[in-house]
Amino acid sequence: MVRKGAAGRGAGVKSQAHSGVTGGRQGQGSATTAAPLGSLRSFPAAELVEDFRLACISRALDDREILLQKQSRVFFQISGAGHEILLLALARSLRPAYDWFFPYYRDRALVLALGVTPLDIMLQAVGSSLDPASGGRQMPCHWGAVTRNIVTQSSPTGSQCLPAVGCAEAGRYIARRPDLVGCAAHGDEITYVSLGEGATSEGEFWESLNTACRLHLPTLFVVADNGYAISVRAADQSPAPVAELVRGFRGLAVTQMEGWDYASCRNKGGRAIARVRAGEGPGLIHAHVTRPYSHSSADSQAKYRDAGELAEELAHDPIDTLERQLVSAGVLTEVEAAAVRAEARDLAAAAAEEALAAPRPDPTTVTDNVVQLPSLPEIEPDPAPASADAEPVVMAEAIRLTLHELLAADERIRVFGEDVADADDDVLDHVEGKGGVFGVTRGLQRRFGSARCYNTPLAESNIVGRGVGQALRGLRPCAEIQFFDYIWPAMQQLHSEAATIRWRSNGDFTCPLVVRVAIGGYLTGGALWHSQSGESIFAHIPGLLVAFPSRARDAVGLLRSAFAAQDPVLFLEHKHLYRQRYAADPIPRPGWVLPFGRGTVARPGRDLTIVTWGATVQKSLVAAEQISTDGCSVEVVDLRTISPWDHDLVGESVARTGRLLVVHEDTLTAGFGAEVSAWVAEHCFWDLDAPVGRVTAEDTFVGYEPSLEHAILPQVEDIVTAATALAKV
Ligand SMILES: Cc1ncc(C[n+]2csc(CCOP(=O)(O)OP(=O)(O)O)c2C)c(N)n1
Ligand SMILES: [Mg+2]
């Protein structure tokens, strides 16, 4: 086969593939003129026929879905066409329900080989509630099968790579600790993750290679290179093929193959997979495949590929190629091959009929499986201290001690992030140890070892993404983001992966990940990138729990509670509060937990309610004290968690005082105060004697010079002024 692009090198024709470099398409020869395809002779005939059959079923399912999509009975279609032979050949060396899988949407043939049925696939295509991957919530080809270790798939291209690495990392950790509750792993399992050549442009792919190689993880990356990312040619995507780009990654074994050559894919793939399975380090397969159909039902490739190229793609289809080989090797006759194809079409049609008759999801279930708060003991507002003579400790120390307590009690907990470890093992006996830039993780590595507390690359997406993968395996990862101001690279993993896992899999997968984040300003010199708040952005994400304690006692109770949760938690630790004496408390007795969604009345009052959280709790208390000398009695409510938040407590307080002032450190516009205000306006309107007020940061950034910081962030005097005015309305 001669691709127009490949043949066009030197002929002046723009190629969709990388030209003039190894790993481009020049290896792809004409079916008649190029080097012969690998020999099928070494494989059992029954396996060859089975793989041909699965390939035909995969294609027949595509064809049936396309038909149904045109009839508006399926609402989206994305095919696995052209990728089938590569995937089925690789699947011969993979172990269903033993290895772990993070497939791409074109891996239809792979999941069939792993035991997903045509009916399962059709149930998702029609959006049935019986769709085992998502209950009708996800688009077709968003694979997920909890009993087969096929991890629920999201849509962002490339975001599967870091969770896959986290999964491999967890597998190793678990295999070495066979007694871990609720976790299971095989010492020689591998983690499979696939993507297209387009998705290799995503930074997360490179971050995942970094860690897979650094830790020699048993991860198999499969890049199925069909020459296009929707309409963008591979050569326009990157300066060289991925097999060449990854050359600097020490320990990564790179294998190239042509995805229409079953024998070669099976032989080379088998060797590559065996090497990963043997623990020799990660592998990357770069395979050329075809894309005979448009990118998806929303695309028409005739708009950007010329007729000659499309005709060639069809004329050199990998399934046809395998069929010709099977016939010429005497494994099947042409008549038998035609019968296999006909049977596949019948099977797809029958699966479609059954799926079309299957029930659809009940719209009243849309908020099921967003989060599921753990059932915890009834709240004990004023817990006894851990010991009678316990002295108050500041919040940073309280969190540090709680991490020690939690790690001692639960070996599933691992702490990781930038600088969280103490020091390299070889110097640990001679130095004090770092333990985080705020010292909150100090001593964890020394006490629990480097497998329980370790440094990561300076890459926030890497930190959270690996946490997601570990959580999927039943561990209780505790990731640290050094400064809230640098959380944004991790947004994809928090927003699109961690938070959606329970919902998108309809409860089959959960992500019990705790992400601790140092947040906030009032640092005198913190400036733009060491002062940010911004919790409202995370409160906006369904599926994510958000804690924002204002004192040591609550931080302990909430951290204990966070590790009891099965859902991702953003645990916001205010840097300014870390060492304040006013936020210090004795460590509460063991077992005392503070459930999410339970605020507290930090100061009772009659005339006005201030609702606040984090660093502005103390400022509100000081303001309330000042105002009290004028005879105004202010109640201060500390929400303690903002997702969920305590509607009942706020409603009760406002019913008593008739006035509400919301105070927060974040900016005004679309700050979380807007949510509290809107809720009170809607639900407590008849209790209000005055408009709801807000005291917040200015809608700008935090300046370095102290008078700028003072002017921008809310201060006690701002609260006094606003509260006094509101009390007089
Ligand atoms: C992060 C992200 N950006 C954009 C998209 C939209 N999109 C879906 S598939 C695709 C092309 C992917 O190309 P490639 O990785 O080569 O896979 P192929 O479809 O060719 O198999 C794009 C741009 C997306 N899903 N995720
Ligand atoms: Mg592609």
Q: Are residues 287 and 336 in the same domain?
A: yes
- In eight-state DSSP terms, residue 496 is I
Q: How far apart are CA 426 and CA 363, in angstroms?
A: 58
- In the predicted model, what is the mean pLDDT of residues 241-256? 97
CA distance 582 to 577: 9
Domain final position from 583, 611, 631? 583
Q: Which amino acid is at 695?
A: V
Give the separation between CA 711 and CA 708, rounded to whole angstroms: 5
User: In whole angstroms, what is the distance from residue 689 CA to residue 454 CA?
Assistant: 54
Concatenating the DSSP letter of every residue in 230-271 gives TTEEHHHH-SS-HHHHGGG-TT-EEEEEETT-HHHHHHHHHH
The verdict on residue 365 lying in a domain is no
Average pLDDT of the residues in 526-546: 97
Q: Do 630 and 568 share a domain, yes or no?
A: no
Question: Helices H, strands E: what count in the chain?
Answer: 25, 19
Atom of ligand 1 nearest to the CA of 237: 16
Q: Helix (H, G, I), strand (E, B), or coil: what is residue 48? A: helix
Instruction: Report CA(632)–ligand 1 centroid distance (Å).
Output: 60
- 321 with 226, same domain: the answer is yes
Q: Supply the mean pLDDT for the chain.
A: 94
- pLDDT reading at 7 higher than 80: no
Q: Tokens at residue 670, please?
A: 């679309």
| CA 61/CA 74 separation, integer angstroms | 12
What are the phi and psi torsion angles at 662 (to 5°)? -100, 130
Q: Which of 55, 54, 60, 66 is nearest to 296 (CA)?
A: 66
304 within domain boundaries: yes
Check the CA dihedral 374-378-383-388 and report its sign.
Answer: negative
Residue 198 in contact with ligand 1 by CB distance below 6 A = yes
User: How many whole angstroms separate alpha carbon 432 and alpha carbon 443?
Assistant: 9
Instruction: List the structure tokens of 111.
Output: 């999941």
Q: Give the C-alpha separation, 573 to 551, whole Å.
A: 10
Residue 389 lies in a domain: no
Contact 77, 125 (CB under 8 A): yes
Does residue 234 lie in a domain region?
yes
CA distance 633 to 637: 13
What is the domain count for the chain? 3
- Shared domain for 208 and 325, answered yes or no, is yes
Q: Kindly indicate the confidence band of residue 649, based on its pLDDT and cuts at 50, 70 and 90.
A: very high
Q: Output the residue whose Cα is nearest ligand 1's atom 19.
A: 229
Give the distance (Å) from ligand 1 centre to CA of residue 229. Answer: 6
Considering every ligand atom shown, identify the ligand nearest to the alpha carbon of residue 226 and give its number.
2
Nearest residue to 482 (alpha-carbon basis) of 430, 446, 549, 435: 435
**Tens-place pLDDT, residues 23-52:** 333 333 333 334 456 789 899 999 999 999
What confidence score (pLDDT) does residue 36 get? 59
For the entire predicted model, the pTM comes to 0.95
Cα(443)–Cα(430) distance, integer angstroms: 14
DSSP 153: P
Ligand 1 touching residue 194 (CB < 6 A): no
Residue 21 pLDDT level (bands cut at 50, 70, 90): very low
pLDDT digits (tens, 9 = 90+) for 136-177: 999 999 999 999 999 999 999 999 999 999 999 999 999 999
Residue nearest to atom 11 of ligand 1 (CA): 229
C-alpha 241 – ligand 2 centre gap (Å): 12
The SS3 of residue 667 is strand
List C-alpha distances in Å: 554 to 257, 493, 596, 605.
Answer: 57, 27, 11, 21
Over 70: is that where the pLDDT of 3 sits?
A: no
Nearest CA to ligand 1 atom 12: 229
Q: Whose CA is nearest to atom 17 of ligand 1?
A: 196
Distance 290 CA to ligand 2 centre (A): 9
Atom nearest to 159 CA in ligand 1: 1
Domain-embedded: residue 235: yes
Distance of CA 351 to the CA centre of its chain: 32
Q: Point out the ligand 1 atom lying closest to the alpha carbon of residue 226.
A: 20
Q: Is 530 considered catalytic here?
A: yes
Q: Measured from the CB, is residue 35 less than 6 Å from ligand 1?
A: no
What's 458's domain CATH number?
3.40.50.970
Ligand 1: nearest atom to the Cα of 83: 21
For position 316, what pLDDT does the model report?
Answer: 86
Give the strand pairing for 413-417 and 232-233.
unpaired
Residue 197 near ligand 1, beta carbon < 6 Å:
yes
Please check whether residues 438 and 338 belong to one and the same domain. Answer: no
Please work out whether the CB of residue 295 comes within 6 Å of at least one atom of ligand 1: yes
| Structural domain of 124 | 45-358
Share of the chain above pLDDT 90, in %: 92
Check residue 24 and give its pLDDT. 31
pLDDT at residue number 115: 98
List, for residues 67-87, the tens digit of each pLDDT value.
Answer: 999 999 999 999 999 999 999
Q: Tell which one of 230, 301, 500 to mutate to probe ligand 1, the residue whose CB is within 8 A of the most ligand atoms.
A: 230
Spatial distance between the Cα atoms of 81 and 103, rounded to a whole number of angstroms: 15
User: Contact at 8 Å (CB) between 531 and 495?
Assistant: no
The amino acid at 422: D
- d(CA 1, CA 355) in angstroms, rounded, equals 38
Q: Indicate if ligand 1 lies below 6 Å from the C-beta of 81.
A: no
pLDDT at 16: 64
Q: Could you read off the pLDDT of 607-635 as tens digits, one per residue? A: 999 999 999 999 999 999 999 999 999 99
Q: Is the bond preceding residue 477 a cis peptide, omega within 30 degrees?
A: no
CB atoms within 10 A of CB 29: 17
CB 108 near ligand 1, within 6 Å: no
CA distances from 553 to 463, 481, 539, 636 (A): 28, 22, 23, 17
| Ligand 2: centre distance to CA 230 (Å) | 7
* Nearest 10 degrees: Cα torsion 591, 595, 598, 601: 20
CA–centroid distance, residue 157 to ligand 1 (Å): 5
Q: What is the mean pLDDT of residues 425-450?
A: 97
List the alpha helices (DSSP H) in 362-512. 395-409, 444-448, 460-472, 491, 501-504
Q: Examine residue 18 and state whether it is found in any structural domain, yes or no.
A: no
CB 161 within 8 A of CB 154: no
Which of 176, 166, 119 shows the shortest CA–CA distance to 145? Answer: 119
Contact at 8 Å (CB) between 289 and 226?
yes
Work out which ligand 1 atom sits closest to the CA atom of 195: 15
Do residues 657 and 718 share a domain?
Answer: yes
* Secondary structure E strands in 482-530: 514-519
Quickly state the pLDDT bin for 377 (edges 50, 70, 90): confident
Q: Is 528 in the pocket of ligand 1 (CB under 6 A)?
A: no
Cα dihedral value 322, 323, 325, 327, nearest 10: 160
Question: Cβ(199) to ligand 1 under 6 A?
Answer: yes
Atom index in ligand 1 nearest the CA of residue 196 equals: 15
Pocket test for ligand 1, best of 18, 141, 157, 236 (most atoms within 8 A of CB): 157
Q: Which of 33-37, 377-381, 454-458, 694-698 has the lowest mean pLDDT?
A: 33-37
Q: How far is CA 42 from the centre of its chain?
A: 41
Ligand 1 in reach of 157 Cβ (< 6 A): yes
156 lines ligand 1 (CB under 6 A): yes
Residue 593 lies in a domain: no
d(CA 289, ligand 2 centre) in Å: 9
Q: Tell me, yes or no, whether 89 and 120 share the same domain.
A: yes
> Is ligand 1 within 6 A of the CB of residue 495?
no
Confidence category of residue 19, pLDDT binned at 50, 70, 90? low
SS3 203: helix
C-alpha distances in angstroms, 667 versus 181, 234, 621, 706? 43, 43, 20, 18
Running DSSP on this structure, what letter comes out for residue 582?
G
Is the same domain home to 120 and 229? yes
37 φ/ψ sector (left φ>0, alpha ψ -120 to 50, else beta): beta
- How far, in Å, are 72, 298, 675 from residue 77 at the CA level? 11, 8, 38
Which of 556, 583, 610 is where one domain is finished?
583
Does one domain contain both 54 and 199?
A: yes
121 and 222 share one domain:
yes
What is the whole-number distance in angstroms between the Cα of residue 77 and the centre of ligand 1?
14
What's the first-to-final CA gap in the chain, in angstroms? 82
Q: Are the C-beta atoms of 163 and 466 separated by less than 8 Å?
A: yes
- Edge to edge, the sheet with strand 514-519 lists 453-455, 413-417, 476-481, 514-519, 569-574, 545-547, 641-643
* Smallest-distance ligand from the CA of 79: 1
Mean pLDDT computed over 201-213: 98
Q: Among residues of the chain, what percentage have pLDDT more than 70?
A: 95
Surface-to-core class of residue 181, CB atoms within 10 Å of its CB (0-12 exposed, 13-18 middle, 19+ buried)? exposed
What does the pLDDT look like over 55-72, one tens digit per residue?
999 999 999 999 999 999
Indicate whether residue 226 lines ligand 1 (CB < 6 A): yes
Q: Per-residue pLDDT averaged across 202-211, rounded? A: 98
Distance 10 CA to ligand 1 centre (A): 30
Please tell me the distance from the alpha carbon of residue 239 to that of residue 711, in angstroms, as a whole number: 49
Among the listed residues 83, 286, 288, 530, the single catalytic one is 530
Last residue of a domain, one of 340, 358, 376: 358
Q: Is residue 26 part of a domain?
A: no
Atom of ligand 1 nearest to the CA of 225: 16
Higher pLDDT, 18 or 28: 18
Is the distance from CB of 217 to CB of 209 less than 8 angstroms?
A: no
Is the pLDDT at 460 greater than 90, yes or no? yes
Nearest residue (CA) to ligand 1, atom 20: 229
**Dihedral in degrees, nearest 10, Cα atoms 265, 267, 271, 272:** -10
Domain shared by 569 and 674, yes or no: no
The pLDDT tens digits for 257-286 are 999 999 999 999 999 999 999 999 999 999
Q: Which of 283, 380, 294, 338 is nearest to 78 (CA)?
A: 294
Residues 680 and 568 in one domain: no
Is the model more confident about 69 or about 12? Answer: 69
C-alpha 215/C-alpha 145 separation (Å) is 27
Per-residue model confidence as pLDDT tens digits over 130-143: 999 999 999 999 99
CATH of the domain at 652: 3.40.50.920
What is the 5 CA–ligand 2 centroid distance (Å)?
15
SS3 348: helix
Neighbouring CB atoms inside 10 A of 506's CB total 22
Nearest-ligand number for the alpha carbon of 497: 1
C-beta 287 within 6 A of ligand 1: no
Are 96 and 77 in contact by the 8 Å Cβ rule? The answer is: no
